[in-house]
Structure 1
Amino acid sequence: MRVALFTETYLPHVNGVVTHVKALKEGLEAMGHTVLVVTANSKTRKHYIKDNVLYCPAHKASKRFYGFDLAPAVSRTRLHFVEDFDPDIIHIHNEFGIGLSGIGIAKILHVPLVYTLHTMYDEYIYYVAPRPLVGITRRISHKYFKIFAKTANEVTGPSAKCQAYVKETGLDKLVNVIPNPVELDIFSPEQITEEDKRAFRERYHIPMDDTIAIFVGRLGREKSVDVLLDFWAKEIRPDDHLHLVVIGDGPVRGELENQAQELGIAGMVTFTGKVEHTDLPPYIASGDVYVTASLSDTNSISMLEGMAAGLPVLQRYDELNQDQVKEGLNGFVFHDAKEMAAELRRVRAMSEEELQLLKASVRQSVKNSGAQNLANYLCTIYTRILSRDDQETK
């Protein structure tokens, strides 16, 4: 098959969508399929293809809105490049200029369309709308994003949350739930030495005896790191020997650092700032657990990277994501500060043998989350669409 993947953001940027598209591209190519990634690039003034990626002229969006490069939705040049590629399937991963152009090009070329919903946009309304306008902005956004799901032959998403969101937009359409991928080899704990872990603790002045809880993500309000800090202040004490490490940067980092100071827990919390993805494995592997209070994620790739490193997950209860953490097998769920603290203390109290068994179980839970499995899942959907189209044309 020849597959064109449309994404507003791609390498060298790194985020959940980029990781997903990169893994899908690699998985499909390993199976012998031909892939063209179509993406926006604010650093070019003309369309060009390099390493099977079509770069399209774009403008840099506000850093507040994730700093995406945004390309115009209509481009005759882009159409010609994709037409020359002659795709069997067009698969869109974002909902802005590049995504809209994927819809248009699919119609013009009479090519089936697949749409993956990666983001619960209701959680991001505050980036673009003042509080009094949140309600009307949400209703408008639902109508807009409904276009993508309605137009596509098939819709996919990494969790049941995506089905709920599509339904909330007013569309009764099945969402194929396909979990996100993770780079298992890169985050394997065997890649990280005890010396690497010791160096991490020394760099950030974390006592060797402390149990480290890691969170990785863009520091926006939707990630609920403020909730983690509140919970930490309510229940964790210095003599618990528990330390929270927050990895990442974003618009509310300053607010969060101030919050930790005001709550009197700055000595138990470390903010590392931005860490390049290539440098991330030793940071994650130096932790003992991965903790998140976010209710905006669908199937967090950062969480999966923690699991790939063997870190059990402490996840705040989320009804639509409750199947992602299986109690005692790959982590634990908490509802409030008291439960979070109890789970952290439970992990800390484990013997070395118990902890190693749990870490092995965590790794086992994501062993089928690599690029090849993602490609296999999507190929099943692509083939189903193409077979259906063949039947309809007979």
Structure 2
Amino acid sequence: MKIAMFTDSYLPNTDGVVSSILAFKQGLEKRGHTMYVFAPDADGQAKDPKVFRYHSVKFPPYPQYRAAVFPYVPADVAKKTGVQVVHSKAMVNMGLSAMNFASRASLPSVASLETMIPDGVHYIIKHRGAQQAGKKLAWGYLKWFYSNFDLVTAPSHHTQILMAENGIESIVLPSPVDTNFFKPNGRGEKMKRELGISGKKVVLAVGRIVEEKNYSLIVKAAAAMRDPGTVFLIVGRGPYLERLKGEIAAAGLQEKVKVAGFVSGREKLVDIYNAADVFAFASPFETQGLVQLEAMACGTPACILKDTAPAEAIDEGRNGFTFSDDPKDCAEKLQDCIEKKKKFSLAARKTVIGKYSVGALSGKLAHEYEKLIEGRGR
């Protein structure tokens, strides 16, 4: 089977969408399938005959990302490559290209919701009074967009419910995690020395530094920790970075909360996961929470905001805890998780192996592709 995967983000980017594509690609190729990727061009991109790149420009809110400009894919690409199904991990530029290509080439199509676009309208609409209307328009667009695909997938039950409330039907198909890559590696202490936090207990947060990720709650929890020697390490970049640093300075927590910035290379990220005693996630707007699962695959238990998509992976009191939107509760749960790390570590990894393995989820995706292809052949 040959698959055309469309995405607005691909290598050398290292975000959740890229991780999802790479994991599915690995699993599908092990099953004998071929994936072609259609993506915007990017600085530092490697040449790959199975990757089609399209002219792009920088995306202002995130300069490290690029937006494809009118990425038209001729229908005869289907004949040249032999692709049998189109899958879009994009919702805008490359997503519209996927929709158009599948229609013109008469191919079955799948689309996955990976990012909550309605929660990002404030980057485009600055007037707070108009932002709620902007969210409604965004959901209206998504409802129209996904109606053009034969199958829609959601990465979590939480996201599936939210989509259904806005008129979008879907099946749940999470993104997998490569547990042969993300695993305990014994290099955590070495990484602590490199970061200048040797001998410290470490609370780790990884992701884009944006306001909606709720890093402010993590910073406030740092001030409320019982153990004054615990260090909070925040890894990532984004438009909220300078304001976050300002919050840390204003609270006098520069020695307790360290901002490491962007980490280049997945290998180093694995070492950072291994250096952590607990992974903290306070974002209410995730569709799944891949970074949390990567950390758990490395044997790091997690503390997650209640009633969110990432909380679905938490078996309370076995592989981590959930906390309310309260700094004191967050701090208490983080402290408990640190104290129970040895007990929780194996369970955290087993959760990812059991529920989010590359083999099982790639097999499920391949089965959905095959059903669509067979349906078109009747």
Do Structure 1 and Structure 2 share a fold, with TM-score over 0.5?
Answer: yes
How many angstroms apart in 2 are the aligned matches of 1:229 and 1:286? 19
The partner residue of 1:291 within 270, 275, 280 is 280
How many angstroms apart in 1 are the aligned matches of 2:197 and 2:11? 33
RMSD of aligned residue pairs (Cα, Å): 2.1
Identity of aligned residues (%): 25
**Alignment deviations for residues 316-340 of structure 1 (CA, whole Å, 9 cap, x no partner):** 1125554221112221011122222
Where do 5+ consecutive residues of structure 2 fail to align? none
2:203 corresponds to which residue?
213
How many angstroms apart in 2 are the aligned matches of 1:158 and 1:135? 25
1:386 and 2:373 correspond: yes
**Alignment deviations for residues 188-242 of structure 1 (CA, whole Å, 9 cap, x no partner):** 11x233xxx333333333251x321101111011211112112332x225x5422
2:319 corresponds to which residue?
330
**1:6–1:99 Cα contact (<8 Å) kept:** yes
1:128 and 2:116 correspond: no
1:270, distance to aligned residue in structure 2 (A): 0.8
What is the DSSP-based 3-state SS (H/G/I as helix, E as strand, rest coil) of the residue aligned with 2:313? coil
What does 1:253-272 align with in structure 2 at a 5 Å threshold?
A: 253-272=241-260
2:186 corresponds to which residue?
192
**TM-score, length-scaled by structure 2:** 0.92
1:10 corresponds to which residue?
10
**Mean CA deviation greater in 180-189 or 15-24:** 180-189
1:98 and 2:94 correspond: yes
**TM-score, length-scaled by structure 1:** 0.88
What is the DSSP-based 3-state SS (H/G/I as helix, E as strand, rest coil) of the residue aligned with 1:267? coil
1:376 corresponds to which residue?
363
Q: Name the structure with the higher helix share.
A: 1
Change in Cα spacing, 1:42 to 1:360, as seen in structure 2 (3 Å) is: closer
1:162 and 2:159 correspond: yes
1:314 corresponds to which residue?
303
**2:225–2:332 Cα contact (<8 Å) kept:** no
How many angstroms apart in 2 are the aligned matches of 1:147 and 1:91? 17
2:82 corresponds to which residue?
86
**2:192–2:198 Cα contact (<8 Å) kept:** yes
What is the DSSP-based 3-state SS (H/G/I as helix, E as strand, rest coil) of the residue aligned with 2:321? strand
**Alignment deviations for residues 282-323 of structure 1 (CA, whole Å, 9 cap, x no partner):** 111011010111111121111111101101100011255542
The partner residue of 2:178 within 171, 175, 183 is 183
1:183, distance to aligned residue in structure 2 (A): 2.2
Q: Which has more radius of gyration? A: 1
**2:288–2:309 Cα contact (<8 Å) kept:** no
1:277, distance to aligned residue in structure 2 (A): 3.1
**1:23–1:374 Cα contact (<8 Å) kept:** no
Where do 5+ consecutive residues of structure 1 fail to align? none
1:27 corresponds to which residue?
27
How many angstroms apart in 1 are the aligned matches of 2:138 and 2:327? 34
2:232 corresponds to which residue?
244
